[in-house]
Structure 1
């Protein structure tokens, strides 16, 4: 396992522990990461106690349909922008 993978697993485990300790659950909305965040989180044993679901909304239409991103935001700023990420 390389250092980056180890760091990601450690971070995911810490996030999970904090969520569990606070009685919270996590959902993700990803685009260009293609589900990588969800993969890192669900690689942690017991993550089903704090990870609820993940959306991979790669197309603009998926962002609109599943996450409620306004088409005008996508048209003005593009799919890979701070404005779109905030809307997601």
Structure 2
């Protein structure tokens, strides 16, 4: 029986997760900047949610264990920023 050749798939997966982690960390820093500048709690909560997602990717990598936590935290951060935008539009 021949051994399965994984090819470059594991390397591509690792690179994709590292890009995702970098993007989340950058987004968390931008939300943190907004929180420091405006003192807006929506930005602070979004910073926390994106930080949780980035840390989950950092510690779990490409395993299936952390994917629901990552999805939940990103959806929550997006919802918080949407509520913040609606609050600014209504004011």
User: Could you tell me the TM-score, scaled by structure 2's length?
Assistant: 0.31
Q: Higher helix share goes to which structure?
A: 2
Q: Higher strand share goes to which structure?
A: 1
Which of structures 1 and 2 has the bigger CA Rg? 2
